[in-house]
């Protein structure tokens, strides 16, 4: 049975066509249909779906701690480029929040979405203004005010466009 989230993502993708960042975030807590939606989209459109935790960790295994933090963005960019697709689906992105990788996950996803549409399953919440990951006080917690991305909420099947991606061009 197709996820009810996948048609919402499909409806929002055209909004990214002329945007500075071509990023759609499917936001919601665990077990709210994000992965099911990405699997459905991958099957129906033949879009590649990357398990970021698995693929990135495999690529980082042979690197030192310092090299991992310095090269994670380039490695992920290479993995996405290898897919040679106009739309790439990113699932299981929790590794991007790991303290030892010293990344800004939203900024990283935004930079990856400059040349292709990226749809990422964001394990967190969006309250209409702030995008979050983890509880405040948790070492990996993140909070972004008015993120420059198109947000599709999985839990409430609600969709919101956060910020104006065009504003970033100025």
Q: Which backbone phi and psi does 90 adopt, to 5 degrees?
A: -115, 120
For the chain, give the mean pLDDT: 89
Span 58-77, average pLDDT: 95
Q: Report the CATH number that the domain containing residue 15 is assigned in CATH.
A: 3.40.50
Number of domains in the chain: 1
Q: Which backbone phi and psi does 154 adopt, to 5 degrees?
A: -80, -40
Statement: residue 21 has pLDDT above 50: yes
CA distance 122 to 152: 10
> Which domain covers residue 98, as residue numbers?
5-169
Each residue of 100-131: pLDDT tens digit? 999 999 999 999 999 999 999 999 999 999 99
Span 63-72, average pLDDT: 94
Least confident piece of the model among 30-39, 133-142, 154-163: 154-163
């Amino acid at each position: 049975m197709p996820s009810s989230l996948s048609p919402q993502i499909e409806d929002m993708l055209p909004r990214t066509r002329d945007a500075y960042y071509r990023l759609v975030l499917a936001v919601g807590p665990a077990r709210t249909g994000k992965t099911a939606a990405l699997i459905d989209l991958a099957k129906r459109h033949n879009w590649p779906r990357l398990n970021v935790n698995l693929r990135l960790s495999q690529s980082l295994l042979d690197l030192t701690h310092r090299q991992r933090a310095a090269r994670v963005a380039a490695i992920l960019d290479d993995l996405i480029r290898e897919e040679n697709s106009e739309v790439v689906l990113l699932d299981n992105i929790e590794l991007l929040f790991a303290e030892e990788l010293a990344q800004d996950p939203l900024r990283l996803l935004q930079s990856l979405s400059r040349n292709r549409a990226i749809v990422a399953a964001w394990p967190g919440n969006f309250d209409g203004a702030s995008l979050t990951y983890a509880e405040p006080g948790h070492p990996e917690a993140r909070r972004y005010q008015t993120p420059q991305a198109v947000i599709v909420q999985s839990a409430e099947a609600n969709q919101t466009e956060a910020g104006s991606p065009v504003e970033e061009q100025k």
